[in-house]
Amino acid sequence: MPETGTTALVLGAGGLTGTGWEVGVLHGLAEAGVDLSTASVVIGSSAGSAVGADLLSGGESLAGLYERQLADPPPGRPAGRLGPATLLRYTAAVLASRTPEAYGRRLGRLALAARTPVGEAARREMIAARLLHHEWPGRPLRVTAVDAATGELHTFDKDSGVPLVDAVTASCAIPGVWPAATAQGRTWIDGGLHSTANAHLAAGYERVVVVAPSASGNKVIHSPRAQAARLRDAGARVAVITPDAAARRAFGRNPLDPARRVPAARAGRAQAAAHARAVAAVWAQ
């Protein structure tokens, strides 16, 4: 059941392009009169964890967050890439798994064995530089990560004892791209590996909006729409936004490409208008 309030905003995984697109969607919806930053709780996975942290920080308006997505990335920052060999290992892990936990354990082993462009400390510094604030917001934010040893999904919040930067670093620890992250004596990998949105964590909330840069699902990972259907079956009002054709073109082939963040943000803002009425109907009391 929800801790407080009745509305939940779910922000899914999707790399740098997903970050830009999510911010664009949120800004576009606000321009149309639907401000999702008023949510009783924000649930963020991977890219969504960073967007959620900035959204609730209070340090910047949605318009300001959008303008930040249009700015040039800092020079010299290592760029990640999901290469063909890594993607093949992801596919093999799906085929060999029957549950999200089994899938998470396999990718946990991949993460621990991988050589990455930066180490754990440097990756944490990259996340810290990206976030507007390093303290947990006063309003409820839940950040997901997967235990690399057990494959189980976990959430961090302001009462978890884990600093916000560490929680977001764990949630964004893509196996084979970035190093696994350490917190609470455990090793963590990307929260979007259990499912790309983890919308099931919004169970118990009356009104839910899911903004998911990846609409995918398979025999192991539940898609955002499948999770939304279960929330509806339980009595919730739910709206799901996933990238349209223009947004998918803007993303390109590499969701971690910094050069694609700007077109992805613009595509998200443009797409928001098509969803504003449906989202408003869900969000209204």
> Which one of 45, 46, 214, 223 is the catalytic residue?
46
Query: CA torsion sign, 265 to 267 to 268 to 270?
Result: positive
What count of other Cβ atoms lies within 10 Å of the Cβ of residue 35? Answer: 13
Known catalytic residue at 72: no
Q: Which residue has the tokens 């440097």?
A: 122
Structure tokens that stand for 173 in this block: 């620890």
Report how far residue 216's alpha carbon sits from residue 219's, in angstroms, rounded to the nearest whole number: 11
Catalytic residue among 54, 147, 190, 223: 190
Burial class (CB in 10 A: 0-12, 13-18, 19+), 5: middle
Two structure tokens written together for 41: 């709780």
166 noted as active-site residue: no
Question: Are the C-beta atoms of 28 and 63 separated by less than 8 Å?
Answer: no
Q: What angle do CA 148, 224, 39 make, to 5 degrees?
A: 95
Residue 41 bridge partners (DSSP) = 8
CA distance 157 to 150: 20
Closest CA to 13 of 146, 120, 157, 107: 146
Q: Tell me how far apart the alpha carbons of residues 219 and 266 are, in angstroms, rounded to a whole number.
A: 33
Nearest to 196 by CA among 45, 37, 49: 45
Contact by Cβ (8 Å): 4, 35: no
Q: Which residues are catalytic?
A: 46, 190
